[in-house]
Copies of this chain bind each other. A is one copy, B any other.
Amino acid sequence: MEESSLENRSIVGQHALTKRMLSNILKVSQEAKAAKRLNPQLIDATVGMLNRESGQLFSYRTVSESLNRLNDNEMFSYSPANGTAEFRSGVIDWVFGKNKEQITKAFTISVIPTTGGSGAISNAVYNFNDFGQKILLPNHYWTPYENIAEEANLGVETFLMFDEEMHFNRQEFRRQALALAGRQHRLFVILNDPCNNPTGLSLSKDDWKDVIDVLNQIARQDIPVILLHDLAYIDYHSAGFDGARGIFETYLDMDERILTIIAFSGSKTFSLYGFRIGAQVGMSKSKSVMEDFCRVGDYSVRARFSSVSRSGMSVIGSIFTNPDKKAAFQAELLEAREILGKRVQLFFECATKYQLTTLPYSGGFFIGVPTENPNIFEDLVKDGVYVITMPGLIRVAISSVPLTDIDRMVQIIKKNA
């Protein structure tokens, strides 16, 4: 180490020399917001926050009321190092829903609070890979995954996400997962499901069975397998609360050596975007794998950001543990899904009308539109529409576009895509 470092005369460490943020969704979104302040006619479909038809953020009354009732300790003190018991057990109830009993019987589960879903992903990517390895992603992915990998001194490898019928490409997943695992003796895969960011796809239960079959096959070769399941948008699935959670039945078949880390996002579920509250839900049938998970996970929380939002954790804990609040919050979530549902319906009516090709959508904040126009971002901006562009597609945050703008937006996208 010391020898090679003699060559590094930069103020920056060697592993950080090449880091350069090429696209930052939050920054593009700021630019869109600023532009819209000058010209209210512009359509801002950039960032993953749910807005009301008025353009105001959709905040939950249950959340605001709970926040207003916190005492000084619940508001200002440091969080307990491993989070409050209410938060930890509430997250497990919430994430698994009707499958909770089966899942908690089959797996050892541990919840580690993190700074949002991003903190959960970042800590997991850092801890469960060797420097220089690659993580596996579908070719359409939320671009920060790549930044999180580079930050952790890792690369990414992708598999083709869709087959010819625009279903999840099970064959390509299998092929690439086996190849990468064989090559580097580790498989760390991130699946953003249901309501995929950026495409809107949800894997079917049969897709999930197939995914787990592949993971099992690799784990049985004594190769470490880590599944990072990012379900940030699960509560905006058009199939509703229970419908979105059916996929967990397929978890039961998992080989005991596999470590699954579910990234839970308080930002999305509770509109607590700016609070930075989320969790890693670690689960495995192996107790020793879970000991490792807790050991390095707790360490990273302390050594990367010390502790997480106390007020966010207090609010979520109080909603999770108070049945009346929980019911009131569920009712508000229905309202949120309805708002989203109306926009989605109109979007697809317009897409049919104007013959715009889209990717399959089943819920969440985003609709994916394939494009081969390399200047799509600039072309759309010229016509007054801001979206996030990714290789081969544009991501339309339908969560923030009011009904009155949708017909016009679809026409503009059709013109440029």
A93 within 8 A of B: no
CB-contact partner of A130 in B4, B298, B303, under 8 A: B4
Give the docked Cα–Cα distance between A295 and B24 (Å). Answer: 13
Within 261-316 of A, Cβ neighbours of B (below 8 Å) are at 267, 271-276, 289, 292-293, 295-296, 298-300, 302-311
Give the docked Cα–Cα distance between A64 and B67 (Å). Answer: 12
Within 98-154 of A, Cβ neighbours of B (below 8 Å) are at 115-116, 118-119, 122, 126-133, 144, 147-148, 150-152
A216 within 8 A of B: no
Q: Which residues of B contact A122 (CB under 8 A)?
A: 303-305
Q: Which residues of B contact A179 (CB under 8 A)?
A: none
| Bitwise interface map of A from 151 to 190 toward B, beta carbon under 8 Å scored 1, else 0 | 1100000000000000000000000000000011110000
Q: Are A306 and B129 in contact (CB under 8 A)?
A: no
How many copies of the shown chain assemble into the complex? 2
Q: Are B116 and A306 in contact (CB under 8 A)?
A: yes
A5 within 8 A of B: yes
Q: Are A75 and B310 in contact (CB under 8 A)?
A: no
A222 within 8 A of B: yes
CB-contact partner of A13 in B6, B29, B59, B127, under 8 A: B127
Q: Are B275 and A76 in contact (CB under 8 A)?
A: yes
The residue among A4, A19, A47, A80 with the most chain B CB atoms within 10 A of its own CB is A19
A69 within 8 A of B: no
Whose C-beta in chain B lies nearest to the C-beta of A286?
B11
A226 within 8 A of B: yes
Q: Are A292 and B77 in contact (CB under 8 A)?
A: no
Q: Are A151 and B19 in contact (CB under 8 A)?
A: no
Please give the residue numbers on chain A whose beta carbons come within 8 Å of chain B beta carbons, in ascending order: 1-2, 4-6, 8-16, 19-21, 24, 26-27, 29-30, 47, 49, 56-57, 59, 64, 67-68, 72-73, 75-81, 115-116, 118-119, 122, 126-133, 144, 147-148, 150-152, 183-186, 222, 224, 226, 257, 259, 267, 271-276, 289, 292-293, 295-296, 298-300, 302-311
A-B contact pairs, 17 of them (CB 8 A): A1-B132, A2-B185, A5-B184, A9-B222, A13-B129, A13-B131, A21-B299, A116-B305, A118-B305, A119-B304, A131-B131, A144-B303, A144-B306, A151-B300, A152-B303, A276-B307, A305-B305
